[in-house]
């Protein structure tokens, strides 16, 4: 029995992957400039990060586009730390807006509400 446990131990830990895709958690919310929604903004996500990797969007792992109501949703995530970075256009002031927020998923199956704040 002890040998069976030693043999299975690596497989138990390999199923617990790091942050990223392949899980059952969800991050969702709205992209907002102050309280104004920013429709069609792009939300970039960096896996395994509590801090912004910067404004170069190639530094991020995935992206989604918010809908006409500024709602975005990223599904299939594992628990861990993520950084969200939003890029959009505030048509009320005719200016590009950007900004970000760290997000933590604490449970394997969880829905985290995280509005992405953006500014000029």
C-alpha–C-alpha distance, residues 96 and 33, integer Å:
10
**pLDDT above 60: residue 88:** yes
Q: Judge contact between 24 and 51, C-beta under 8 A.
A: no
Phi/psi for 109 (5° steps) reads: -115, 105
Task: Give residue-wise pLDDT tens across range 4-44.
Answer: 333 333 444 444 458 999 999 999 999 999 999 999 999 99
Domains in the chain: ranges and CATH: 18-118 (2.60.40.10)
Structure confidence at residue 6 (pLDDT): 39
Residues 86-97 have a mean pLDDT of 97
pTM of this prediction?
0.85
Task: Give residue-wise pLDDT tens across range 56-82.
Answer: 999 999 999 999 999 999 999 999 999
Tokens of 59: 């530094």
């Amino acid at each position: 029995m002890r040998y069976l446990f030693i043999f299975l131990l690596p497989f138990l830990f390999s199923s617990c992957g790091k942050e990223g895709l392949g899980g059952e958690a969800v991050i969702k919310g709205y992209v907002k400039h102050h309280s104004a929604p920013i429709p069609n903004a792009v939300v970039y996500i960096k896996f395994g990060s509590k801090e912004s990797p910067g404004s170069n969007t190639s530094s991020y792992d995935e992206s989604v586009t918010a809908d006409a109501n500024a709602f975005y949703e990223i599904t299939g995530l594992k628990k861990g730390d993520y950084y969200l970075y939003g890029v959009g256009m505030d048509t009320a002031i005719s200016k590009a807006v950007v900004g970000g927020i760290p997000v933590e998923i604490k449970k394997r199956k969880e829905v985290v509400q995280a509005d992405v704040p953006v500014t000029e």
